Chain A
Amino acid sequence: MSFFSKSPWILHYDASSCNGCDIEVLACLTPLYDVERFGVVNTGNPKHADILLITGSVNERNIDIIENLYRQMPDPKVVVAVGACACSGGIFARAYNIQGGIDKVLPVDVYVPGCAARPESIIDGVIKGIGALEMKRKKSA
């Protein structure tokens, strides 16, 4: 039996988001949405996390941080890109310092659209991420 679907711990990283998506991510923890129902914990620490949840796009200065955080997460792990910027760069895509979406650096498993992404769709993305987590575990096992 696998416990991954029942205990997804999340690391939330704000790449270069406008904070719109971040507020929606935190809203998921509030009584209205209460993602802890699904065993989700917002860990703030890559070494404890299963799901890397990134808002905002990749820029020159945070590439290596994103890579390091991802590298420090123990396997199996998945990446969920939340919001238009994380998916593609969004309206900042052509700014001088922006590289683009998260998939320029990391293998993204789930794309959550929206500007800002709604809590419902973020939770939906996390649930899809759990599916990907299970698949990765089976593949490695």
Chain B
Amino acid sequence: MSSLIVFLVAFPLVIGALLLGVHSGKLRNVIVVLAGLIVAGASIVTAATFGNGNALFFGLPNGLTLGQGLLVVEVLMAAFVLFVSIQNRRVLAPILVLGQLAISFYLELAGKMPEIDAGRLFWFDRLSMVMVLIIGIIGTLICIHSLGYMRDYHRSSPMIKGRRTAFFCLLFVFLGSMFGLVVSNYLPLMLVFWEITTLCSFLLIGYTRTEETIGYAFDALNMNMLGGLAFSGAILLLINGNQTLDLAKLTSGPASAALLPALALLCLAGLTKAAQMPFSRWLLGAMYAPSPTSALLHSSTMVKAGVFLLLRLSPAIAGSDLGTMVAFIGMLTFLFVSLVGLTEQNTKKVLAYSTIGSLGLIVGCAGLGSPELIWVGVMIIIFHALAKGLLFLVVGTIENRFYTKDMENFDTLLSRLPLVSALALVGIAGMFIAPFGVVVAKWTAIRAFLEIPGWQGAALLVIMAFGSSFTIFYWGKLLIKVLSMKSVTEYERSIQKRISSFEWIAEIALAAGVLAVTFFLAAISEQVVGPFALATFKGTSQSFLHVEPVMLATMIVAVLFLPVLALWASRHENYNMSDFYAAGRPVTNGNVVGMALGGTRAVTLRNYYLEGVVNGQLVFRAGTTICAALLIAALAAGMVGR
């Protein structure tokens, strides 16, 4: 196991370094595909080797030690941040990184670092297994997708200088450090991986190096470095209090009051990375990066690191005031961003709001902490990673065909890109169609909220009822756009043929994954997620998913209905059987209406964005303010040990 883990972390890093030197496109394709397959294979082997499901703890193979390695990496990263900050004249980032470095040096020079238990550097349990599979498989598919996407991206925007060697290098470094993050047990080790992901996301978001994207990249850097600083602070507090730096020991049960200040800081770190309010802005800025970046940041890595940490902390903070407040930050974020999502027209931003919302749900579950809720949190992670990854890739493909991310321009998509539409429908079904995936999780969450006494339970129910209804509205609008049809020209029909096979492979594989997870929902729940939840909370044995056969049947019908219908309809050549009603005016081509004084005009249909009822910017600002206040309260509660 230990050598497998080291391989999982090191191999992508090596490949990343190798890719820096590869300038030939064809060679790069070969390396990326092969390396991707190896990474995915290794992650599956790792999961398969993890036999009986008991948590494993281990160190580096062959008696290797970390030595001063962590400090060296930290110094290198700090130097890099300083360099780019000076280059771009930014002040905040250097302050944050120097603060963090100061803490590390203080601990090191003052000789305060405690003995490392070399046999407990890594922690592998069912949650790590789920995360390793998600990163290995979905991450790889995203890398493969990028091969096709980046080619078209640079074709369609010739103004942007190609830096594809760096791009693919970063993707692999990202995967490697994510692997390291989800198996770390020793907090300083986790912190290093944590910071590498921050740095990679900074570089990926700023890929195009326009003024706009550099601004967003620094937003992401600042907010995540704040989280990193909080992480360092937590380590400092733990060491000063003579507490353990061993994550598993730290979170083995409800934390004592002495531990809560450090846990509060760790929660802050988790919240920044999970892009919860008031830190949601960086993830929205990340939407300006190429789509595979968004897919990677949103579905399988980065933000998942934040919720991963919070799920890990869950048993320690559950029941404390700190945990409750963190949960409310998550749930309120879910409510507010879902409401903002109603007013958003940019498809990628809608997806981003939906991501932040889903993460909010997970944070809510982690903060409240109970076997059922942890179950919900992990289930959402799985479904969200697959479905959202798929959706981002599909939107990327569409964007490269029609040069738009605007939902309104997705009209008649089914006629123009039938197969892509069917894939999009699988993704949307995975995200929200009633009895499936995230909704199963929401349903279980409501059941769990009913058991929470006092005003908290009532508030959570109301938030959930409104929040999940909001999501119906934006997904419904997107569905309407994807499902509309018209007669297509020969040229329009040819567009789909120009999508690269890399993109097809990645998207079809992810869609298959979404369907597979639905079919094996009960098995995943009973074999993996349920036992994890019970082991985390030492609860009594119980079944989490009360799926009756009727429900399962409903789910499968609901999931397959739209994609199958879309594929069938797109093959239906003579669909234009009758024209629509246009006050008696002639209609041709399925969407062109004759005008009263001669001439024709194509119909343009625009979705509702609830103008005059919901002010998106105002809601976002209100949410940020409220959650910021809650965050301060949560930190205060943690500091006084409640």
- Using a CB–CB distance below 8 Å, which chain A residues touch chain B? 13, 45-47, 64-66, 68-69, 72
Contact A64 B586 (CB under 8 A): yes
Complex Cα spacing A68 to B586, Å: 7
Complex Cα spacing A13 to B584, Å: 10
Q: Is the interface of A mostly helix, strand, loop or mixed?
A: helix
Complex Cα spacing A72 to B582, Å: 10
Complex Cα spacing A7 to B16, Å: 73
Contact B585 A47 (CB under 8 A): no
Contact B581 A47 (CB under 8 A): yes
Interface flags, B554-590, vs A, CB<8A=1, else 0: 0000000000000000000000001101011110000
Complex Cα spacing A47 to B586, Å: 15
Question: Nearest residue in B to A72 (C-beta to C-beta)?
Answer: B581
B contact residues around A69 at 8 Å (CB):
584
Contact B581 A45 (CB under 8 A): yes
Question: Nearest residue in B to A13 (C-beta to C-beta)?
Answer: B584
Q: List 8 A-B contacts (CB under 8 A).
A: A46-B581, A64-B584, A65-B583, A68-B584, A68-B586, A69-B584, A72-B578, A72-B579
Q: Count the A-B residue pairs with Cβ separation under 8 angstroms: how many?
A: 18
Q: A46-B581, A47-B581 are in contact. List 16 more A-B contacts (CB 8 A).
A: A13-B584, A45-B581, A46-B584, A64-B584, A64-B586, A65-B583, A65-B584, A65-B585, A66-B584, A68-B584, A68-B585, A68-B586, A69-B584, A72-B578, A72-B579, A72-B581
Q: Could you tell me which residues of chain B, from 577 to 621, have a CB within 8 Å of some CB in chain A?
A: 578-579, 581, 583-586
Shortest Cβ distance from A60 into chain B, in angstroms?
13
Shortest Cβ distance from A42 into chain B, in angstroms?
16
Question: Nearest residue in B to A48 (C-beta to C-beta)?
Answer: B581
Question: Nearest residue in A to B583 (C-beta to C-beta)?
Answer: A65
- Using a CB–CB distance below 8 Å, which chain B residues touch chain A? 578-579, 581, 583-586
B contact residues around A65 at 8 Å (CB):
583-585
Shortest Cβ distance from A124 into chain B, in angstroms?
27
B contact residues around A64 at 8 Å (CB):
584, 586
Shortest Cβ distance from A45 into chain B, in angstroms?
6
Of B579, B584, B586, most buried by chain A (CB within 10 Å of CB) is B584
A contact residues around B584 at 8 Å (CB):
13, 46, 64-66, 68-69
A contact residues around B581 at 8 Å (CB):
45-47, 72
Question: Nearest residue in B to A64 (C-beta to C-beta)?
Answer: B586
Interface pairs A-B: 3 shortest CB-CB? A65-B584, A68-B584, A69-B584
Question: Nearest residue in A to B579 (C-beta to C-beta)?
Answer: A72
Question: Nearest residue in B to A65 (C-beta to C-beta)?
Answer: B584
Shortest Cβ distance from B423 into chain A, in angstroms?
33
B contact residues around A72 at 8 Å (CB):
578-579, 581
Complex Cα spacing A45 to B583, Å: 9
Question: Nearest residue in A to B578 (C-beta to C-beta)?
Answer: A72
Complex Cα spacing A47 to B583, Å: 11
Complex Cα spacing A30 to B583, Å: 26
B contact residues around A13 at 8 Å (CB):
584
A contact residues around B585 at 8 Å (CB):
65, 68
A contact residues around B586 at 8 Å (CB):
64, 68
Complex Cα spacing A130 to B337, Å: 56
A contact residues around B579 at 8 Å (CB):
72
Shortest Cβ distance from A137 into chain B, in angstroms?
20
Of B579, B581, B583, B585, most buried by chain A (CB within 10 Å of CB) is B581
Shortest Cβ distance from B101 into chain A, in angstroms?
72
Complex Cα spacing A47 to B582, Å: 11
A contact residues around B578 at 8 Å (CB):
72
Of A45, A47, A72, most buried by chain B (CB within 10 Å of CB) is A72
A contact residues around B583 at 8 Å (CB):
65
B contact residues around A46 at 8 Å (CB):
581, 584
B contact residues around A66 at 8 Å (CB):
584
Shortest Cβ distance from A47 into chain B, in angstroms?
6
Complex Cα spacing A69 to B587, Å: 12
Complex Cα spacing A45 to B582, Å: 10
Complex Cα spacing A72 to B580, Å: 8
B contact residues around A68 at 8 Å (CB):
584-586
Complex Cα spacing A45 to B585, Å: 13
Shortest Cβ distance from B11 into chain A, in angstroms?
63
Shortest Cβ distance from B625 into chain A, in angstroms?
49
Complex Cα spacing A68 to B585, Å: 7
Complex Cα spacing A115 to B411, Å: 49
Shortest Cβ distance from B597 into chain A, in angstroms?
9
Complex Cα spacing A141 to B586, Å: 30
Shortest Cβ distance from B595 into chain A, in angstroms?
12
Shortest Cβ distance from A65 into chain B, in angstroms?
4
Question: Nearest residue in B to A69 (C-beta to C-beta)?
Answer: B584
Shortest Cβ distance from B578 into chain A, in angstroms?
7
Complex Cα spacing A47 to B585, Å: 14
Complex Cα spacing A13 to B279, Å: 59
Shortest Cβ distance from A88 into chain B, in angstroms?
23
Complex Cα spacing A140 to B583, Å: 28
Complex Cα spacing A65 to B578, Å: 16
Complex Cα spacing A66 to B585, Å: 9
Complex Cα spacing A68 to B580, Å: 11
Of A13, A45, A68, most buried by chain B (CB within 10 Å of CB) is A68
Complex Cα spacing A76 to B182, Å: 68
Question: Nearest residue in A to B597 (C-beta to C-beta)?
Answer: A61
Complex Cα spacing A46 to B581, Å: 8
Complex Cα spacing A45 to B578, Å: 15
Question: Nearest residue in B to A68 (C-beta to C-beta)?
Answer: B584
Question: Nearest residue in B to A70 (C-beta to C-beta)?
Answer: B584
Question: Nearest residue in A to B594 (C-beta to C-beta)?
Answer: A64
Shortest Cβ distance from A63 into chain B, in angstroms?
11
Shortest Cβ distance from A4 into chain B, in angstroms?
21
Shortest Cβ distance from B94 into chain A, in angstroms?
67
Shortest Cβ distance from A14 into chain B, in angstroms?
12
Complex Cα spacing A72 to B583, Å: 11
